[in-house]
Amino acid sequence: MIFNWTAEHVPAILYTWWLGNQAGNAMADVLYGKYNPSGKLPVTFPREIGQIPIYYDHYNTGRPAKNEKDVFYRSAYTDLLNSPRYAFGYGLSYTGFKYDNLALSKRSIQGSETLTVSLTVQNTGKYAGEETVQLYLRDVVAQPLRPVKELKDFLQVTLSPGETKKISFTIDRNKLAFYNDKLEFITQPGEFKLMIGSASDDIRLQDSFWLAD
């Protein structure tokens, strides 16, 4: 999973894993533009072996690095970028997608209430394509500590060139719950950060809401 020379010199990589007996035809369709790829990585690709284990839903530290250059007295490498080579959820397309118009139906929920998150996605390129819109959440203050982001939902939307569609997610208490150190599936009141993007490291829209007692 580490192929730095190729990653640094090749503008696009078709990573096919282990396909069946029609693999050649499928790869040819992608390479010649007959099919617009839409796959997203289900794992994280490291830059070097020393980064392993590496994953997007890690815990925060007492001195997190603010960016790739913020390395001194921080939780960061001094001889290597902190970021992975390819992040969880990453994937290329022959077209581009614009995220816009993020809206939350309410700012606070409690009990069995739900919150609706809506946004628009536009195909900004010249080719029809399918985008996987990913919704991540972060429980800002919790005991025990929660990851910096967790994938909670995703939607795939197919768009023609120039087309715009409105999509929505529903956030309920189940999406905000987690197992504590007693293996109890619980929620804790407080602020939640909402992130929507094309990959775990490509967040396009952000907002926040509260879970009340």
Q: Compute CA 22 distance to the chain's CA centroid, rounded to the nearest angstrom.
A: 30
Residue 116 is predicted with a pLDDT of 98
129 in Cβ contact with 38 (< 8 Å): yes
pLDDT at 102: 98
Which is it for the CA torsion 138, 191, 198, 166, positive or negative? positive
| Sign of the Cα pseudo-torsion (126, 205, 134, 170, in order) | negative
pLDDT at 73: 87
| pLDDT value at residue 121 | 98
132-146 tens-digit pLDDT: 999 999 999 999 999
Name 98's bridge partners.
122
Buried b (16+ CB within 10 A) or exposed e, 159-188: beeeeeeebebebeeebbeeeeeeeeeeeb
What pLDDT, on the 0 to 100 scale, is given for residue 213? 82
Q: Class of the 97-211 domain?
A: mainly beta
CA atoms within 13 A on the CB side of 120: 9
What digits encode the pLDDT tens for the residues 77-88?
Answer: 888 999 999 999
Q: Which residues of the chain have pLDDT under 70?
A: none
Q: What are phi and psi of 102, to 5 degrees?
A: -70, 135
What is the per-residue pLDDT for 109? 95
Q: Is 125 left (phi over 0), alpha (psi -120 to 50) or beta?
A: beta
Domain boundaries, the chain: 97-211
What pLDDT, on the 0 to 100 scale, is given for residue 71? 87
Is residue 141 within 8 A of residue 193, CB to CB? The reply is no
Q: What pLDDT is stored for residue 111 in this prediction?
A: 87
